[in-house]
Amino acid sequence: MDEPGYGMTEQRSEKRQQLSHSLLVYDGISSRIVGRVVDLTPKGMMLACAEPVWIQEEYRLRMTFADPVDNQTEVSVQAVCRWCREGVEPETFVAGFQFQKLLSEERRLLSHLIEEIGSF
């Protein structure tokens, strides 16, 4: 898998927001766990994963949260995996996803989610 960061210019325009709560992400089709959110921005997220993720593939991802956000307990988004590499721990991976085609409701839920469960 491609190694991000080596010889690449940082393209992120949003500050990463690390989460103070564990937030699992599921495949929107198979419902299997893809990973756990490490950090989140309005434009994308980084996941800690048990398996590698295909780079440049588009995914339908679903995040569920215990405490309702505007009476919602989940948000589904389209996202493309931009990079994936081995994690620090053995047999773990980290992957960066960029959100695609966000609807205004998805954008609003993500922004609220970042505000509600982000650590400052």
69-115 confidence digits (pLDDT tens):
778 888 999 999 999 999 988 889 999 999 999 999 999 888 887 87
pTM, entire model: 0.78
Enumerate the domain spans of the chain.
17-117
The CATH number corresponding to 17-117 among 2.40.10.220, 1.10.3720.10, 2.60.120.10, 2.30.42.10 equals 2.40.10.220
pLDDT confidence of residue 65: 76
CA distance 120 to 31: 31
Structure tokens at 27: 């495949």
CA distance 5 to 38: 17
Q: Length of the chain, please? A: 120
How deeply is 77 buried, as exposed, middle or buried, from its count of CB atoms within 10 A (0-12, 13-18, 19+)? buried
Strand partners, 40: 17, 45
